[in-house]
Amino acid sequence: MTNSSISLYWGSASPFVRKVMVCAHELGLADRIEIRDSAANPVDRDSRIQAFNPLAKVPAAKTSDGATLYDSRVICEYLDTLAAEESGAAALRLFPLTGRDRWSALRRQALADGLLDAALLVRYETLLRPEPLRWSQWIDKQGEKVGDALDAMLEDVPEPDAVNIGSISYACALGWLDFRFPELDWRRERQPLAEWHAAYDNRPAMTATRPSA
């Protein structure tokens, strides 16, 4: 896979795309990614994305040797493997290979992705569904999942020097809540998590990938 590159269907506001791009920046691979703009939508599906992902969801990628990759978890691990194959033992590993560190990073990724899944369902219900058809209990229950996920993050704040798929996933999820749900005061009564995020959010890979409408 030496000198491999990928074409990536991208959305400026997607937290899952941001996770991929943060990994690319951390691994020094951002210049290997060809960005393809898209208009991902759960109802009006973008047929361009379907060429890479039959679900027409971003991120969706194709490698220079023709392999298609989706979703963010797969693309991030591909980038991590690519960097390791090219740089050897000196490479930063965003996916720890074994032991407690690996399972902690993967668990944190799963928690952050689950938070985003619930928050996206709230956004779709309020943004895309006609107002007379909106289900308030659905919104409330998905919101409870977001709150429970935030409380679990508070109990499992990454180490200050942790740079792996778990910490990246946490940071992208929290950043997206700030971007799409500014009225949600997730920092209240979660000061240690807020302090961790404030520090992590200043990493160059995070500042280079801020979401935009």
Tell me if 151 sits within 8 A of 186, measured CB to CB: no
Structure tokens at 154: 């508070």
CATH of domain 99-204: 1.20.1050.10
Nearest to 95 by CA among 160, 156, 19, 41: 19
CATH 1.20.1050.10 maps onto the chain at: 99-204
Pairwise CA distance, residues 168 & 5, whole Å = 22
d(CA 178, CA 157): 18
**Residues spanned by CATH 3.40.30.10 within the chain?**
6-90
* Per-residue model confidence as pLDDT tens for the chain (213 residues): 457 889 999 999 999 999 999 999 999 999 999 999 888 888 888 899 999 999 999 999 999 999 999 999 999 999 999 999 998 767 789 999 999 999 999 999 999 999 999 999 999 999 999 999 999 999 999 999 999 999 999 999 999 999 999 999 999 999 999 999 999 999 999 999 999 999 999 999 999 999 987
Instruction: HSE, CB side, 13 Å, CA atoms: give it for residue 21.
Output: 24
Token reading at 200: 């992590």
6-90 CATH: 3.40.30.10
For the entire predicted model, the pTM comes to 0.95
Residue with tokens 């490479």: 91
